[in-house]
Amino acid sequence: MTQLEAAKKGQITESMYQVARQEGVPPEAIREKVAFGTAVIPKNSNRHFESRGIGAGLKTKVNANIGTSPSHHDVTEELAKLNAAVKAGADAVMDLSTGGDLDQILDTILRQAPVMVGTVPIYKVISKLMAQQKAPVEMAADDLFSEIEYQGRAGVDFITVHCGITRRNLAVLKDCDRIMGMVSRGGSFMAEWISAHGVENPLYSRFDDLLEICRQHDVALSLGDGLRPGAIHDAEDRAQIAELVTLGELARKARRAGVQVMIEGPGHVPLNRIADDVRQQKRLCDNAPYYVLGPLPTDIAPGYDHLVGAIGGAVAAAAGVDFLCYVTPAEHLHLPGIQDVHDGVIASRIAAHIGDLEKNLPQAGDWDAAMSRARRCFDWETMYNLAIDPPLARQRRGQSEDHSRDVCTMCGDLCAVKTFERVAL
């Protein structure tokens, strides 16, 4: 039985109890959210770890993408990235590996990860074909479904599938004035396959088969936005909206089948349109959890895109986004390293927390208030412990010429807090 099926029957699962404890809400509230599809608990029935919830009224969660490339594949390094992501506070990781022994890499990550693990199954199928010197269009539909079945048995908790890349939606894209065209790897593979074979996307035409696999292993669907904009100029065009309508229809079908589902959102969106994008997704997809990359409100900051993503992510989270996919300083440039993973997670966690403050989640406000009280008292140890990156805060303070004093070296004896203590009010 899936989490959704149990919730609809009025049953509170152990995973729901775990999420309730983390969120500080009654277990029945979690059950209701899962039953209505406004929250999901991605946890494969074949894996064991502390469950986390994603959705309305819950803390905004953060995902870290890790994985190899054809030119650089070292499973030891990927485990180091996994550990860096978890240590920095990621709630989930996605293995997006495309090079090396892909089965071994995924199985190793699944064994080691203490958090949710997601994948994009088509990456693995296409990567194996290309390693055999075959073209992506040589993929058989059954190859893709077999891989999804394999990953379900292996323990993958959620999968990104590009079911909205349909012949109809590609026809809409053809008439759009885009600069970047398609920037989704999985979506572009699917589009090429459809074009070459002249038939419908099997993930769409055989959606019932996909649902049965996911229901069997309680794999949550993350309906991928293959037509997401990859440039500010391309945001919210007809193709993006057409795909979103399709994803909303498929999400309703998934819920009826007892399969948990969330919707993926765009990468590049102007800042003043992010909130409208979130509201539109919630309306068209019946308030399904929204999972966004970034978003990125400008295109001109390679090397600093983790900061751009944090700016967009904070606005998105405040508007109701439930799950942020991190962006690292390596975005658009190269495969992220271990430090990139850490920096990306921290940036997205800051964005998520700002969003939670705007959502008026009690735990978020308590955290800030505790930090403020510690600052007022010059309680450095408490400040370090409350910092979103404690080692960095401690290191920075330790670099001061005289870090033993109860002031920082920015103001010293000119400290406003110290001055205010002498003010008679």
**264: β partners:** 291
Residue 404, pLDDT score = 64
Continuous segment of H or E residues that includes residue 392? helix 390-398
C-alpha to C-alpha distance for 297 and 272, rounded to whole angstroms: 9
C-alpha to C-alpha distance for 160 and 137, rounded to whole angstroms: 19
| Buried/exposed 261-292: b ≥16 CB within 10 Å, e otherwise | bbbbbbbbbbeebbbebbebbbebbebbbbbb
Are the beta carbons of 290 and 322 closer than 8 angstroms?
yes
| Buried/exposed 134-163: b ≥16 CB within 10 Å, e otherwise | eebeebebebbbebbbebbebbbbbbbbbb
* Segments making up each domain of the chain, as ranges: 60-360, 363-421
- Kindly give the confidence (pLDDT) of every residue in the chain, 425 residues in length, as a single tens digit, with 9 standing for 90 and above: 999 999 999 999 999 999 999 999 999 999 999 999 999 999 999 999 999 999 999 999 999 999 999 999 999 999 999 999 999 999 999 999 999 999 999 999 999 999 999 999 999 999 999 999 999 999 999 999 999 999 999 999 999 999 999 999 999 999 999 999 999 999 999 999 999 999 999 999 999 999 999 999 999 999 999 999 999 999 999 999 999 999 999 999 999 999 999 999 999 999 999 999 999 999 999 999 999 999 999 999 999 999 999 999 999 999 999 999 999 999 999 999 999 999 999 999 999 999 999 999 989 999 999 999 999 999 999 999 999 999 999 999 888 766 667 777 788 888 888 888 889 78
Question: Which is nearest to 339 in space by CA: 92, 77, 115, 118?
Answer: 77
DSSP string, 190-254: HHHHHHHHTS--HHHHTHHHHHHHHHHHTPEEEE--TT--SSGGGTT-HHHHHHHHHHHHHHHHH
Question: Which is nearest to 378 in space by CA: 419, 413, 399, 407?
Answer: 407
Structure tokens belonging to residue 270: 């102007």
The arrangement of secondary structure in 60-360, i.e. its CATH architecture, is Alpha-Beta Barrel (3.20)
Helices assigned H by DSSP within 54-140 = 75-88, 102-112, 121-131
Q: Is 294 exposed, middle or buried (0-12, 13-18, 19+ CB in 10 A)?
A: buried
C-alpha to C-alpha distance for 241 and 233, rounded to whole angstroms: 15
Q: For the beta carbon of residue 32, count every other beta carbon within 10 angstroms.
A: 15
Residue 20, pLDDT score = 98
Is the pTM higher than 0.75? The answer reads yes
